[in-house]
Amino acid sequence: MLHYLPFQLSSFAGDIDQVIRVIYYIVGTWFVAAEVILFWLIFGSRSKPGVRAAWLPGTGRAKWAVLAPVCAVLACDLIIEKASSPTWEYVKLDIPHPDVEVKIEARQFAWIFTYPGKDGILGTEDDLVAKELHVPVNKKVVFHLEAADVLHNFYVKDLRLKQDAVPGRSIKGWFDTNTEGTYEIACAEICGKGHTLMGSKLVVDSNEAYQSFLAAL
Ligand SMILES: [Cu+2]
């Protein structure tokens, strides 16, 4: 099933897939174990002639029937934590120096992308506005994600990037890309009647094509 994971467009996509793999195998093992125990209990505990049901007080050896799974779940949590914390640090805490900076605004039901104009500063009068997100390939893009009305979520599956957009907040994040092409942007938070139509495109351009895109805005 894991080979259905989408293309790895960002430098952190492989790391995130690795975390998904760890969780997949841990949860998969638990699922199989839980079903085996469930059916064993159902069929093993059926009424037998001459055997009366007994009440177990949950002390002595019986308490380990509860404590052992609790300890195992805690151990699995720590394994997932250990596997995911370097990725979390790389993606969420170490925001790199940007090659491109863009403001991403989500509103019912569209995405608006704002680039700095000639002055290179976002939030000034010469800013450039686009309906598609163009970025140059192999560059680091830092975004400032905002929501104009309700909760939205900026989701690009090929980047393995999914970030809530929260009204009243500007959330900073980053990504990079390794292959030119056009990729889907979706809103991953049910935000109203037009939610399913709230899509856009991430276009990863060559450097020249990106400059032409900016010049045409
Ligand atoms: Cu939305």
Q: Position 118: which residue type?
A: K
Q: Would you give per-residue pLDDT tens digits along the chain (217 residues)?
A: 788 899 999 999 999 999 999 999 999 999 999 999 999 999 988 888 888 888 878 788 888 888 998 999 999 999 999 999 999 999 999 899 999 999 999 999 999 999 999 999 999 999 999 999 999 999 999 999 999 999 999 999 999 999 999 999 999 999 999 999 999 999 999 999 999 999 999 999 999 999 999 999 8
User: Is residue 63 domain-shared with residue 157, that is, in the same domain?
Assistant: no
Round to whole Å and give the CA distance between 191 and 193.
7
State residue 7's pLDDT score: 96
Round to whole Å and give the CA distance between 190 and 175.
24
For 121, the token pair is: 């500063």
9: CA distance to ligand 1 center in Å? 23
125: CA distance to ligand 1 center in Å? 27
168: CA distance to ligand 1 center in Å? 15
201: CA distance to ligand 1 center in Å? 14
User: Is residue 64 domain-shared with residue 82, that is, in the same domain?
Assistant: yes
User: Is residue 165 domain-shared with residue 184, that is, in the same domain?
Assistant: yes
| Structural domain for 34, as ranges | 2-47+55-93
Q: Give 173's contacts (C-beta < 8 A, 6+ positions apart).
A: 91, 92, 95, 142, 143, 145, 161, 163
User: Is residue 39 domain-shared with residue 67, that is, in the same domain?
Assistant: yes
189: CA distance to ligand 1 center in Å? 6
Domain boundary among 93, 120, 152: 93
149: CA distance to ligand 1 center in Å? 9
65: CA distance to ligand 1 center in Å? 45
Round to whole Å and give the CA distance between 178 and 90.
17
Number of domains, the chain: 2
Q: Position 159: which residue type?
A: L
93: CA distance to ligand 1 center in Å? 25
Q: Which residues have C-beta under 5 Å from ligand 1, the single-atom ion?
A: 152, 187, 191, 198
For 116, the token pair is: 């700095």
User: Is residue 148 domain-shared with residue 191, that is, in the same domain?
Assistant: yes
For 115, the token pair is: 């680039």
- What pTM value is reported for the model? 0.86
Q: Give 198's contacts (C-beta < 8 A, 6+ positions apart).
A: 106, 108, 109, 110, 111, 152, 186, 187, 191
User: Is residue 43 domain-shared with residue 70, that is, in the same domain?
Assistant: yes
